Chain A
Amino acid sequence: MWLVAFGLFGQGASAQTFTVSGQVFDAKTHEALEDVTLFLGNYPSVLSESDGSFVVGNVAQGEYEIRGQKMGYELDVLKIVVDKNLKKVHLHLEPQGVNQDTVYIVARDFLDLGPKESTLSSDYVDEEFLQKNYGNTLAQTLEKIPGITSMNTGVGIAKPVIRGMTFNRVIVNDQGVKQEGQQWGADHGLEIDQYGVERIEVVKGPSSLLYGSDGISGVINILPPAIPKAGTLSAEAVAFHRTNNAAYGGSGALKGNFRNTFFRLRGTAQSFGDYRVPADTFLYNSYVLPIYDRALKNTAGSEVDLSGALGIQRTWGYVSLGASNFQQRSGLFPGAIGIPRAYSLLSDGDSRNIDLPRQEVNHLKLLLNARLLLNDHWMLEVDGGMQENSRRELSNPHNHGPGPRTADTLAHGLYLRTFSGNFRFSQTLNHHLRLKYGLTAQQQGNKREGFEFLIPDYQYVSGGVYGMGEYEWGKAMTFSGGIRFDMGHVEVDSFTTPIYSDPVTIIGYWQRTPVINRTFQNVSGALGWSWYARERWNVKINLGRAFRMPTPPELSENGVHHGTFRHEQGDPDLDPETGYQLDVGFAYHAPDLLLKATPFFNYFDNYIYLRPSGAFSPLPDAGQIYQYTQASAVHTGFEAFAEYHLIEPLHISSGAQYVWNVNMETGLPLPFTPPFSVSSQVEYSLEKIASFLPQLSLSVEHVGALAQNRTDRNEKATPGYHLFHVSLNATLKAGKQELMLNLRAQNLFDEVYMNHLSRYRILNLPEQGRNFMFTLKIPVNILK
């Protein structure tokens, strides 16, 4: 962020064009920096060499801005005059955060420029963080960030939760395109290959302005991987094994860049068996039920993911085309479908088969990403996508009343196709003021099949336009603000099921869902302020108006959701969920200490939730009807994070999270609220121990969660727990070949605990027991 220009050396060129050369340094260590991307006006970007030097040739005389960018560093911008008097240019990049080793390494957007300080606090995770913390799923891996938890169904299926909100209240953007995969369902996981993810930005707080409907509690941005350096070809092999559910798998990648045409390929496959819990029985509705061999029957699964991208990088920016396919088969614990009975929990004698009930999910995605430098001041970002999500939930057809019995096992087949396009113009007027104008559009079509009914076929078109500005006032303050208009139109088909008196005689019809045609519109806005009160003290305040259009399931659902026993019923007349959000951030950065606190306060005037109706479902064996309804609600809490470096190799950090909410209509808390928890870590990290051991670190983690006794009606309180994890991380080197090894013991003491947000919580099933996880990664430079 601070820019220092050093001694300048003359470097004239020919009469008309000049060569601009210089060097880039780390402003703290004064070491030369390699791989810094340098932009000079709209000339082709170049990368700095190992001695930090760079050269841009054939530059016309004139006044330019030169920008140096590198992951983990603040952007540096220098104004230069290119003429015969031009001297060598020196850029000094300030490392971000307290220290490069902190887990919150900032990865700025590729061509980000203009004001450097964002007013909204966000957390960034990089490849190193991911490698050290790989969990069973991406959502579980992210749980280490304060404010993030996950809602899981066993170990293979999980979705991220931000500040106690999930479903359609969290947006996951994969390379600029919103992931659309029936995220309204508690047991519908996030369909993303975690080994293909390099960098993630997590935005907590009011994000409606940039991201539109949904994302009320935050956004998880999976950033595009870095473009490989020109003239390189590299490969990577990852192998992993987890003992608890005998999981094994691997991921292989190949990427390269030839004359600024780049490509990436990746394949990941894994297979896992039934997972083990530290218990022999569980208690359900006063029945003691068996857990044979301490393994949950039929919780095995498998996953195969493929992805690839091809792009070009030129003076005007880059364009990349990508495709990915995620395929997962996961068994579900039979006790979680319908009322668990001992005879359905008998061991099937095979810990790896994926029997009924199970999910078969396939997510295909085509992506187009472009960053186009239109001129010195204008840039256009385009992110387009086509997604096909196929979700098949299979189970034995049980208890269907007097109607005919089907031999088919497809309970729900849901096929969602989504087209999305996002266009964003950035206008950098000077390096104090940047404006952004955006347009987003999305079209969805959903088709269903199966012997059960939950949601009908529908079409959904939505779009939004927005404008926002960021202004840097002096060195210490940044202001941001913007306004957005959104519109959406949904057309839901009606759905009717026959009523039988015996297996062949139809005596009437039951309209489960009428035709629904709704149009929604909304104006939202946000204001933000960031202030460096002292060099080390930062305060951020953001105020936003949030909104979320009702989803088709909220409007039209009418059926029993697998295993919740609840009959969930939509309301075609729901209004958009709107609210006001206040988000505050305090941070103190010193060389050896980082303190952060991010309290938030949200008020919703029509929060959509499922309310028990006091009436039973007429469907056989189904429980109570829960109706989607709206009420005002307060949602508040905070995250706090501290990191301290007592001595150089020792990192001590601790993060806390708390959510408090209330439904103003019922006076009861909202469902699925994570408990207060504190996650602490002591890491001892050594570098350059020996030539064969450049890096070694050992860390001990403790997660303490208090009991969650603030629960919604018919929701169970969950006791508190303590978990200990230990991990060892080493980089080994043989000649020039590096090898990264990660050993992690999750739930070291085999603690019996329940996750308040688990799909299996209603069964009082404990979470996964002790799990040793091994990850080995070998990067190979084929061409350098």
Chain B
Amino acid sequence: MKISYFIPIVSLAVLLGACKKEDTVAPVIDAFTVNGQAEEVSAQAGSSLSFAGTLSDNENLKQFKIDVHDVFDGHSHNKVQANTPFTLATIKDIEGTTYTLSEIANIPAGAAAGPYDILLQVVDEVGNEGAFKEVELTITRLDQASITVTSHDLSVDNSVNRGARLTLAGMVMDDVDLVEVKVSLVESADGHSHKTGSGAILYSHDFDLTGSADTQWDLAEIENQGFPIDIASTAEAGHYELTLVAIDSDGNYTVVVGHFDVL
């Protein structure tokens, strides 16, 4: 019974296999850089981004898409601010088995400072999707908040003992009102990539500055307000990232990152 039942299926499969060889090979982004950078890039509002890369497919490429969007973590406020997050969604038709990508995009002078992601995607003619590539973008402005840390020196790797307190000294300054300062200390596997890490959070606090007109904020406030960065004696030793974020009323984000080994 089974044999007679499988005959039509098998013959059908053979028939289909014989008359059609379906292309399921995904197109590939061989390289992608923004202003020459493959991982992280920094650019000033009002400047331009130049995207470069090579795309390939076994048969015929169809489209690529470049998305730029902010990663301001959703804490946006639904009011008009002086600077607005920069977004870009560029789609372009292409063809051939290889394509050399070369695009220029202008960051508006009014773009908000802060962290962004640049995403490149590609599809071929029949809709096969390749793996995407991502470059992290930081947009800077002269009028965004500045975060000056005098202790510790964040340009080098620092260390802190378990059970000890990590005291920061320095100043956040802006020409407009500061809205929020966020401080966090989070484990990261290789220390420098935002894409890896096992993610233990040693410390995280958001200091809400709305309601008061302050154009500067002393990092001593971290302890003054009763939220010191105490490293628990039970904390796991390893490499951690200290992140300071300052958000101002113009909608600009300033992010400063330092690296700490918890011993």
Name A residues whose Cβ lies closer than 8 Å to a Cβ of B.
280-281, 285-290, 292, 339, 341-343, 345-347, 349, 396-402, 404-407, 502-504, 584, 586, 597, 599, 601, 611-616, 618-621, 623-624, 634, 636, 638, 660, 662, 664, 666-668, 713-714
Contact = CB atoms under 8 A, between A and B. Distances in A.
B226 to A, nearest CB: 19
A288 B124 contact: no
A667 B89 contact: no
Highest count of chain A CB atoms <10 Å: which of B9, B69, B197, B199: B199
B213 interface: no
B16 A347 contact: no
B194 A341 contact: yes
10 contacts: A285-B131, A290-B196, A292-B198, A342-B197, A343-B194, A614-B63, A623-B121, A638-B2, A660-B9, A668-B24
Highest count of chain B CB atoms <10 Å: which of A399, A401, A597, A714: A399
Contacts of B200: 292, 347
Question: Which 5 A-B residue pairings sit nearest by Cβ, starting from the closest?
Answer: A612-B127, A396-B74, A667-B20, A405-B76, A616-B65
B131 to A, nearest CB: 5
Contacts of A662: 12-13, 16
B127 A290 contact: no
B123 interface: yes
Task: Bin the interface of chain B by size.
Answer: 35 or more
B201 interface: yes
Contacts of A504: 80
Given A346-B199, A614-B63, A664-B16, A401 B91 contact: no
Given A290-B196, A341-B71, A405-B77, 6 more contacts: A292-B198, A342-B196, A346-B201, A347-B201, A503-B84, A621-B89
B123 A612 contact: yes
A623 B12 CA distance: 34
A405 B78 contact: yes
A619 B121 CA distance: 13
A91 B127 CA distance: 66
A614 B59 CA distance: 13
Contacts of A612: 123, 126-129
B261 interface: no
Nearest to B74: A396
Contact of A614 (B20, B62, B74, B196): B62
Interface in B70-121: 70-71, 73-74, 76-78, 80, 84, 87, 89, 91, 119, 121
A349 B22 CA distance: 47
Interface in B129-155: 129, 131-132, 134
A615 B122 CA distance: 9
A290 B121 contact: no
Contacts of A398: 69, 74
B128 A620 contact: no
Given A346-B201, A620-B89, A614 B124 contact: yes
Highest count of chain B CB atoms <10 Å: which of A584, A623, A660, A664: A623
A397 B78 CA distance: 11
B223 interface: no
Contacts of A601: 5, 8-9
Contacts of B22: 666-668, 713
A624 B20 CA distance: 24
A404 B251 CA distance: 13
B128 A714 contact: yes
A456 B62 CA distance: 30
Contacts of B124: 614
B67 A621 contact: yes
A347 B199 contact: yes
B189 interface: yes
A612 B12 CA distance: 25
Contacts of B262: none
B133 to A, nearest CB: 9
B177 to A, nearest CB: 19
A611 B26 CA distance: 15
B1 interface: yes
A505 B200 CA distance: 42
Contacts of A280: 198
Interface in B30-81: 62-63, 65, 67, 69-71, 73-74, 76-78, 80
B84 A502 contact: yes
A374 to B, nearest CB: 43
B60 to A, nearest CB: 9
Nearest to B243: A343
Nearest to A612: B127
Contacts of B231: none
B125 A620 contact: no
B131 A401 contact: no
B197 A399 contact: no
B186 interface: yes
Contacts of B67: 399, 620-621
